[in-house]
Structure 1
Amino acid sequence: MGARVRLEDRECPLSATMGYVGEWWTILILHDCFDGFSRFDEFQANIGLSSSMLTARLKELVARGVLDKRLYQERPPRYEYVLTEFGRSLRPVLVAMAAWRNAQLAPEQRAMVLMDEETGREVEPLVVDPASGAEVSQARFVYAAGPAAGPEMIARYAGRRARASSGTS
Structure 2
Amino acid sequence: MSRYRPPRKRGSRYITPEGEQTLRAELHQLWKVERPQVTAVVHEAAKNGDRSENGDYIYGKRRLREIDSRVRFLTKRLEELEVVSRTPDDTSRVRFGAWVTLEDEDGEEQRWRIVGPDEFDVKAGKLSMDSPLARALLGKGLDEEIRLHSPERGERFYVVTDIQYRPPAPAR
Shorter chain as denominator, the TM-score bin is under 0.3
TM-score calculated relative to the size of structure 2: 0.26
* Larger fraction in strand: 2
TM-score calculated relative to the size of structure 1: 0.26
* Larger fraction in helix: 1
